[in-house]
Structure 1
Amino acid sequence: MRRMIITSSLLLALSTSVMAGQFYKWVDAQGVTHFGAQPPEGQEAARVNTNIIQPKAPEAKPPAATFESSGEAEQKAIDAKVKQDVAAQEAERKKYCEAMRTNLAQLQNNPRLRMDVDGEMRRLGEDERQAKIAESEKAIKENCN
Structure 2
Amino acid sequence: MDIRSVMTPNPATCQAETPVRDVARLMLENDIGLVPVIDAQGRAIGTVTDRDIVVRLVAEGRDPQQCVARDCMTQPVTTVSVDGSLSDATEVMESRQIRRLLVVDGDGRLCGVIAQADIALSGRDRKTAELLRGVSEPKH
Alignment TM class, shorter chain as reference? under 0.3
Asked which structure has the greater RCO (Cα within 8 Å, sep 6+), the reply is 2
TM-score with structure 2 setting the length: 0.21
Larger strand proportion of the pair: 2
Structure having the higher helix fraction is 1
Normalising by structure 1, report the TM-score: 0.21
> Which of 1 and 2 has greater Rg?
1
